Amino acid sequence: MSKRLTMPEEKSKRIAVGATVGGVVLLIVLVVIIVVQIVQIGVRRRTLNEIKRSEEELQQAIDDGEHDLEWYESWFGRYSAALKQDYHFPD
């Protein structure tokens, strides 16, 4: 025959089950929070890498532009640009 649990034993079992369920729910919530944080870190790193790559491309464009500016400021560069525009020098 099965023993009937007395009231304090039933109460203590309910408390134990409730604490276990609460602990498991808390653990699940914490794991979800950690996963979300890891995903956000990955997204921010990718965004930062894209920004750095864009910065390098812009810096390269600036450097190329400075080189072109130096070229077109020279006499030969201006002469070459004039010829490309079909400019004819008077005799």
Q: For residue range 34-91, what is the model confidence (pLDDT) as tens digits?
A: 999 999 999 999 999 999 999 999 999 888 888 878 877 888 888 888 888 888 777 6
- Number of Cβ within 10 Å of residue 77's Cβ equals 14
- Per the CB < 8 A criterion, the answer to whether 5 and 13 are in contact is yes
Selected residue with higher pLDDT from 77 and 24:
24
- Residue 7: what pLDDT? 67
Residue 10 binned pLDDT confidence (cut-offs 50, 70, 90): confident
Tokens of 40: 């956000």
Integer Cα distance of 48 and 52 in angstroms: 6
List all residues 6 or more positions away from 5 whose beta carbon is below 8 Å from its beta carbon.
13
Integer Cα distance of 56 and 69 in angstroms: 20
- Residue 91: what pLDDT? 64
- Residue 43: what pLDDT? 97
Please state at what angle helix 75-84 crosses helix 7-73, rounded to 10 degrees: 90
For the chain, how many residues are written?
91
